[in-house]
Structure 1
Amino acid sequence: MTQPPQPPQPPQPPPNEPSQGGFGAPQDPPPGGFGKAPDPSYGYPQAPGSPAQQPQSPPPAQPPAPPGQPPQAPPAPPAGQPPYGYPQQPPAPQAPQGYGYPTQPAQPQYQQGYQQPYQQGYQQPPTMPAQPMAGPGGTGGGGKKIGKQTTIIIAAVVAIALIVGGGIFYASTKDDDSKTTSQGSGGKGGKGEGKGGEKGGGLPGQGTAKEKAPADPAAKVLMQLPQPEIPKDQIWTATGSVLTEDVYAKSGINEVNGYDPDTGKKKWTVPLAGMTCAMSREVTEDGIVAVVSEEAKRNKKGDYEQCTDVSAIDLKSGKKLWTESAESNGVKAAFKEVTISGTTIAAGAATSSGGAAWDVKGKSLWSPKVGKCQDVGYAGGDQLVAVRKCGTFGDYKLKVQLLDPKTGDDKWTYPIADGVDNAKIISTNPVVFGQDTTEITASGVTDVFALGGNGKLRTKISLEEGKYDHDCGVNMVNDCHSIAVGNDRLYVPTRQHDGSGESYNRTNEIVSFSLATGKPTSDRAVAGDNGEIFPVRMDGGNVIAYKAHGYKQGAQIVSLDGKTMKETKLLETPGTEAVTGAISGMVPKSNELLYANGHLFLGKKLLSKPFSKDEKEYVAIGFVAK
């Protein structure tokens, strides 16, 4: 069992001075804060009466840390043992002091095999209409007691109004003949990654890296989207963002907005029937993204609507191409995840109704199955992989299947052991999935399985509970982040732990495991003193990673060489208190993080009213290397 959560550390607040920059400020914020709220024409109305200056007093207490935010970590190993980050025989860590915060269902995950933004889900507030808990988070097979993931959700409902979660984006390999381009490889010309690690046969460094170090990695503030005025005790969703060569698209309130990635200026707005529930990480070769939204606008109480609408949006023209829904047992099916593989858009079910799919033109390919077996969810990209459940409530059995994206027929099936009530797809090419098989926890997965091209098991990797710091959404199939697959390896960050030196110092590492043997490799990238590092996605044979900001030092995006793990700095944000405070408020590890070709965008998925009238909140912020 894990320990109860500890109070989180509040993010650094912006300094108490007015800004002169506003939206798209072309340089570091001038004295006076991270920038005044920009013109409301950018798609987000300003809070009426919101003062321009920051509070003089210390910031108020913050809500519990969102899922994915690192909790306190176990201490350093005793003298004479290898440093904590080494995968070889590490010391047994103490139980982490931040466990218990569940990752929150309802958002899509970033698919390995594509460079797309990772989206993390969220728990629904009590105002959400009740949903049957018959999915993979239901009771385990062979018994009638409640499954551990369902238990997490029940425990989280009490505190959900305080949780503001988000996501991180990561990906791996180049698009193949599926004609789906990588999403997050945007910027100028990023169309995907090399083939390193695909089909389980890659070697370190295989594949052509696209990201190059700029002449000056020092970044300037590109854009700031202020949070709209939100009623007290309500949580609004602005779930989803993608980055292409020509547009940074971010969900707004009942809409999706497109911005120029070089200037931050808004290019278009696509209205939706309600708030967004999910957005695909993938974008088709023609620039189409898929969005799941609520079927209607919320009432004044903020009651959630059902996530029934699936839409296709042309990112180039800023037009909604179509909106469809699917029926199951005579009622509209609700979805919480959506993905794209080739020209197929597949939506995973939020209830026991099963999944559905359409082609990019809006033609139905398959509807939710009625019977003893239903698709729980899908992960797309190079291949379309499904998690399917069969049986009756309390006695479900799960299996992982490779599907024909045109018909939904399975090409092979890998059965999951009885009693396991969850499966998380980490990569679709090669197919790698994970399970959480410990007691109540929401840290991610404790067992990872690499499958071959025929669906047969290659290796099993055990990730010791409390030692690693990745995360996967509860009752989600396609929602793992801070974990990446490439070079026939699995890359994971360790939890923060005591560093070297006499002074207080916390640090962590990125380490890897071989998908061929299941054993740790010698790969090791160190965060440094008082630092934290985690993988974002693959770039050919290299690993794109995020390094959290430090004292008077900005956050960094770095490239780790797949052969040597040598670090190359690609971007560093301004190190001012205003900027680092704003970044802390975005919680990069559990919200949306997109990087490509010298552009970094951070976005939130869940929005709530600030605790202080003087406190500034942003929906998205962007940086570009000079």
Structure 2
Amino acid sequence: MTQPPPPPPPNQPPPGYGYPQGGPNPYAQQPPYGSPAYGYPQQPQPAYPPPGPPQPPTPKGKLNAQAVIIVSAVAAIALIIGGGVWYSSTKDGRADAKSGDKNSTAGTTGGTGDSGGTGGGSGADKAPANTASKVLFQLPQPAIGADGNSATVDGSWLTDTVYAKSGFAEIVGYDPVKGTKLWTVPLPGPVCEASRHTTADHRTAIVYEPAMPTKDKPSHGCSQVAAIDLDAGKELWTRTVKSGDQAITLNNVTVSANTVAVGSTNGGAAFDISGKVLWAPKPTDTCYDAGYGGGEKLVAVRKCGAYGSRQLKIQTIDPVSGKVLSEYAMAKGIESASIVSTNPLVVAADVNYSAGDGSGISDFFSIDNKTGQLRTKISAPGDKYAAKCEGITKIEYCTKVVVGNDRLYLPTESHDGTGEYSKTNEIVAFDLATGKLDGQRADAGDGYTISPLTMDDGNVIAYKSPPYDKGGQVVSIDGGSFAQTKLMENPATKAVREVEFDMQPESAELIYADGRLYMSQVFADKPSTPGASDYLAIAYGTS
């Protein structure tokens, strides 16, 4: 007789509905930030430890020689707030707020926010005469101190003048071609989260801990949010968001236009890039903004009700006032959702925990920003498609999926290729108006697996993870014909391949722009072998 599954641990969502529910407190059953699957600091290593480089095939069976690398322009640092917050009620449940903090340094404001914030999308990425790349520079992993074996180093950004990367309790700016250090922004504690977007003048935001971990206190909570000027290499201000006298733990951060927005199980807050408080959680509110998606528009994932009977509202909001411009109410019982794109608005969710593969995606929802009406729902079974979202707390953390041309571009799961022992996959496109596949596909080629990274002037920029004896490739996929143009092929030498293969999907960030590819870790670990050389980032460029 088949035994029923055991109940889930208290900080994990159940595999389905029907488990006994908790009391009326809507927050009591919320999986806490810091759970092993999603949060710092209880993640001493990636949720899926990166395997070693793919090995040559053997006659014992078919091997998956792919090291599919994810795009995640993830940012991870936080800012500190001092002083109290006063509230006044608003119709939509958000609260206007004024801060008593007198320690902030107001920076100049920028223009409208970009759609990616981390490079790419310029329309200038054309095939070079020679697509063979060379290593521009490699950055060694930072020392993470004696009180831990790993640390979060989320966050990487690219501007015209700097490649910035988070280290252990710092943000460092490098020359984007030479890799020489330009500036350092030290932080009092480790990075937790980082915005994937910037303002028009290259300012972004991070969440971090207020102190360094110790053996007695390995976590101090991700309570600090800060604004960083990437071109100047300066911290502009730091803030906290309070519930009563307590600084609350912040789960995510994003930037839209000139607004920095942070979400948590206690509610959401927002600041102007100059440091002015725009809104803050209302203590009597029974709903809360779990997080936000940024870029061209600002979208809130608002949660109401107790765990197990949750009601999610996807709200496009004004980035200055927080006023709700449109709202889509998801079916009750969907516990979490991720923002894939804010314009056009695309949301991913694991409905009834049916994905079955840990991807956090069973369906995509295409929503009209202006009316809040559902345009179409796209079924994306986990055994067919390889995108991933971590929507419980990381509302904007989706990888291997891009939106453009009113299309949703997804990679298929890898499958046997035509060559012996080879694996391969494809990128396909769904129409966001009809929900139907458009019939076109971009094949990775035998031995390669392909993942979309970003959009560039209507074309899809994608990364091809290589077989064991070759380097990875970057290609441009024509948005109309789906014809592929190779933009870059990385060196196949063993030493370079090993660094590239180490940048695995669950533990790497990729940025491609202007003929250069930047790959970086999101975790820094102590070397497994004394004297071993581990790398935080590697940059490639074509001549």
Tell whether the 8 Å contact from 1:472 to 1:479 is kept in structure 2 after alignment: yes
Q: Distance in 1 between matches of 2:251 and 2:151?
A: 15
Tell whether the 8 Å contact from 1:139 to 1:150 is kept in structure 2 after alignment: no
Deviation (angstroms), 1:620: 1.0
Residues 606-625 of structure 1: pairs in structure 2 closer than 5 A: 606-625=523-542
Deviation (angstroms), 1:184: 5.3
Query: Where does residue 337 of structure 1 map in the other structure?
Result: 252
> Of 345, 349, 354, which residue of structure 2 is paired with 1:435?
349
Paired residue type of 1:442: G
Query: Any idea what the Cα deviations from partners look like across 1:91-142, whole Å, max 9, x if unmatched?
Result: xxxxxxxxxxxxxxxxxxxxxxxxxxxxxxxxxxxxxxx9x969xx589888
Query: Where does residue 434 of structure 2 map in the other structure?
Result: 517
> Of 444, 458, 466, which residue of structure 2 is paired with 1:527?
444
Residue ranges of structure 1 left out of the alignment (5+ in a row): 1-129, 172-176, 194-208
Residues 130-149 of structure 1: pairs in structure 2 closer than 5 A: 144-145=20-21
Other structure's SS at 1:586 match? coil
Q: Distance in 1 between matches of 2:519 and 2:377?
A: 34
Tell whether the 8 Å contact from 1:431 to 1:451 is kept in structure 2 after alignment: yes
Query: Where does residue 64 of structure 2 map in the other structure?
Result: none
Residues 227-626 of structure 1: pairs in structure 2 closer than 5 A: 227-230=141-144, 231=146, 234-300=149-215, 303-349=218-264, 352-370=265-283, 371-437=285-351, 438-439=353-354, 441-452=357-368, 453-475=370-392, 476-501=394-419, 503-588=420-505, 590-626=507-543
Query: Where does residue 46 of structure 2 map in the other structure?
Result: 163
Deviation (angstroms), 1:161: 3.8
Between the two proteins, what is the percent identity of the paired residues? 44
Q: Distance in 1 between matches of 2:445 and 2:217?
A: 44
Query: Any idea what the Cα deviations from partners look like across 1:278-305, whole Å, max 9, x if unmatched?
Result: 1111111122111111111112467022
Paired residue type of 1:444: G
Q: Does 1:223 align with 2:137?
A: yes
Deviation (angstroms), 1:228: 2.9
Tell whether the 8 Å contact from 2:465 to 2:473 is kept in structure 1 after alignment: yes
Query: Where does residue 58 of structure 1 map in the other structure?
Result: none
**Structure 2 length as normaliser, TM-score?**
0.80
Q: Which has the higher strand share?
A: 2
Paired residue type of 2:139: L
Other structure's SS at 1:468 match? coil
Q: Distance in 1 between matches of 2:199 and 2:244?
A: 31
The range that moved more, 317-326 or 327-336, is 327-336
Deviation (angstroms), 1:550: 2.4
Other structure's SS at 1:392 match? coil
Deviation (angstroms), 1:529: 0.9
Q: Distance in 1 between matches of 2:426 and 2:181?
A: 38
Deviation (angstroms), 1:330: 2.9
Q: What's the C-alpha RMSD, in Å, of the aligned pairs?
A: 3.0
The range that moved more, 219-228 or 260-269, is 219-228
The range that moved more, 435-444 or 487-496, is 435-444
Query: Where does residue 61 of structure 2 map in the other structure?
Result: none
Other structure's SS at 2:288 match? strand
Q: Distance in 2 between matches of 1:148 and 1:291?
A: 23
Other structure's SS at 2:528 match? coil
Paired residue type of 1:460: K
Deviation (angstroms), 1:624: 1.3
**Structure 1 length as normaliser, TM-score?**
0.70
Deviation (angstroms), 1:213: 1.4
Query: Where does residue 89 of structure 1 map in the other structure?
Result: none
Q: Distance in 2 between matches of 1:561 and 1:590?
A: 29
Distance 1:145 1:506, change over 3 A: farther
Paired residue type of 1:181: D
Deviation (angstroms), 1:354: 0.9
Query: Any idea what the Cα deviations from partners look like across 1:499-532, whole Å, max 9, x if unmatched?
Result: 124x211111111111111111112011111110
Distance 1:140 1:425, change over 3 A: farther
Paired residue type of 2:304: C
Q: Distance in 2 between matches of 1:588 and 1:266?
A: 27
Q: Distance in 2 between matches of 1:326 and 1:551?
A: 48
Query: Any idea what the Cα deviations from partners look like across 1:435-485, whole Å, max 9, x if unmatched?
Result: 112345412311111012311011111012311111111512111110111
Distance 1:359 1:405, change over 3 A: same
